Amino acid sequence: MDPSRSPESVFDALATRQLLIVSGKGGVGRTTVAALLGLALARRGRRVLVATVGQDDRLAWLLMPWLGLMLAQAALCAIVYGLTADANWDARYNPAMPARSTAWGPVLGAIAALVVGASALMATLAFSAQRFFEW
């Protein structure tokens, strides 16, 4: 194989571009190639936007559940942090500071996180079920 055509050299040449368009006939893996190129470029520190145009939005079907699950996970972490007792919080994160009371702020934050997390999780489940039965 010619060293100038190795996969690494081809990818290095692609990484210098501002715009990449992945095209081809149906069923050849356009969406997979676009998603993997975006992932590889993002791991190299490039800012990436992957967009698909067409009737089959398989990339959205793949990425939307991940987004919803990540939002639900972040909300769960916020709930755990919000419901941590003041003494435990101060002992772990503010050991040199005097003890203080946080009143209702963390409880209201935990309630807001519960609403946002539950909404994101339910929307993710509904979207995934809809896409599964449409496919």
pLDDT in tens, 65-79: 888 888 889 999 999
Distance in angstroms (rounded) separating the CA atoms of residues 130 and 6? 42
Domain boundaries along the sequence of the chain: 1-56, 57-135
**Which pTM was predicted?**
0.52
pLDDT in tens, 67-113: 888 888 999 999 998 888 888 888 888 888 888 888 888 889 999 99
Distance in angstroms (rounded) separating the CA atoms of residues 120 and 128? 12
Residue 11 contacts residue 46 (beta carbons within 8 Å): no
Q: Name the token pair of 76.
A: 């769960």
Residue 56, pLDDT score: 63
